[in-house]
Structure 1
Amino acid sequence: MVQIGYTMMTEQAGPVELVDHLVRAEEVGFDFSVVSDHYFPWLDAQGHASYAWSVLGAAARATARIPLMTYVTCPTIRYHPAVVAQKAATVQLLSHGRFRLGLGAGENLNEHVVGGGWPPVDVRHEMLEEAVEVIRALFAGGYVNHHGTHFDVESAKLWDLPEPPPPIGVAVSGEQSCELAGRLADLVISTEPEGGLLEAFDRYGGAGKPRVGQLPVCYDPDAGAAVARAHEQFRWFGGGWKVNSELPGTAAFAAATQFVRPDDVAASIPCGDDVEAFVEAVRPYAEAGFSEIALVQIGGDAQYPFLDWAEKSLLPALREL
């Protein structure tokens, strides 16, 4: 059976609200959760970007059952991989083994803030591979010294080391990232329901490993209000990773999506309260082979109505997939 997850979207709610929403998501029966790790929102209308790792620490102590996961952390520019390893180990301990470390090559939107420039995608993948090597070495215990192409680590050691360490997931969008994920990851992550990505992941060593997808939805009893909110806050979503990873800030995303119409958004994101429409939006992920699918309810103020509706109507229907 496909597992259905809940997304703490740090771009659309403050840290206190994110944790409160997750507590309710656990109560209503979501199978797992993920959290975005951003320094900026995609659009000004979203209005938030709290520190995901503080949210995770609070969420780990406020919940008892629901698994946690970054979706995703970039361990290469804004964060050094040795620091990511320490953060992930700490959350794994705080959550009593419920944490998975989702990693990706990042977006200019978040990584530009430290002033290191934005390298081309092949270099970003090299950096990600080296970062995973550093993180796994630290998870293995003992002192780590590493002097690589992109990172240096000098006598680092994790003094609070969980057993087992967090599984590592890698986000994919094309052949190159699928090859990296197949070799290095314990699970694969994607925001597109493309079976070809999972097939490539399997070819490179990923067969039998979990695969986690994500899609936005916008519940509201007023379908028109749902479409308007999705257009205001999520019209960037259709750009795809190859575009979204390159743009440097909210003004760039606003300019890039200025001609996206509400109807365009409604064609790709289920909006309203038609359970069957939501099920049909999730179905391609299940049919492509995703074992876990995380939903993103659009709108920070719309979480509790969505969660109540999910408990009564949506989750029972999705259990049939």
Structure 2
Amino acid sequence: MDKVLCIGELLIDFICSDFDVDLRQGVNFIKKAGGAPANVAAAISKLGGEAQFAGKVGADVFGEFLKNTLEESGVDASMLILDPRYKTTLAFVSLQSNGERDFIFNRGADEEFSYEELNKEEMLNAKIIHFGSATALLGGTSKECYIKAMKSAKDNNIFISFDPNYRVDLWKGKEDDFREISKSCLGYSDFVKVSDEEIKLISEEEDLSKAIKIFHELGAKVVAVTLGKDGTLISNGNDIEKVPSIKVTSIDSTGAGDAFVGAVLYKLLSMDNPKNIIDNFEALKDIIAFANTVGAIVCTKLGAIAALPTLDEVINIGSDESSAS
């Protein structure tokens, strides 16, 4: 089966809906499914591709909610483990008017996902494996699982996608650890998606062209640096170009980066060998333009998974853009 397997965390985000308060003052919270790899899987499925998710949640009401959310999005959740020994990971977040974020992270089951629990046969049946975790690299058995799975995918010539998903609140005081583990992952990666902030942090280089060169030297084959409304800087090591995005009125950028990755991987699924995209820069630019559109559409709606577009929506938006120009 031509599918993308997404490995990483799945958790509950409790988002404070009270205006301009910290968590101490907050009273009302909205429960949302969280976890970047799950968002990527849902994006692929919504576009019409086959996506599977592997990870661990608790065997509790939150874990059941997350499993149901994946399945309702069309994602194969057969590799999701509901473990009665641990609670589902929870994050509590409030946004304040000055842009600051109050954040508490109660880590649970996702940290305990081990390589021994990963279905290797299913994993190696995937055409593409996406590693896009904000938490798996923090430590615990999940970190070992992540690295071993990456190595196994590399050894079996499976196309590897990697998004380091840096979160300030999670890595505060441990930036050097994040930098080093991210660098080691680049050596396995065929496609790497980073924000401009992330590539500067990992490479310790402010100039984006030089930072991209460092990523290639570390082993990354294709590097995509997302620049928000300015589009995406894409490089395959020989060519580099900025691919513009479409103009939209953004109301919520949550999940836009994950939708972008999902769109890229959805397009790569249709190729006999996704690795061929590395040397086909014109085709790569077309895929990135498509992914930019998907990410932009997500910014026009509220929520992450709820905002993901269907293929028809993307095609219609693209048609409207062509007519306008």
Higher relative contact order (CA 8 A, sep 6+): 1
Q: Which TM bucket (shorter chain)?
A: 0.3 to 0.5
Q: Given the two structures, how large is their TM-score scaled by the length of structure 2? A: 0.35
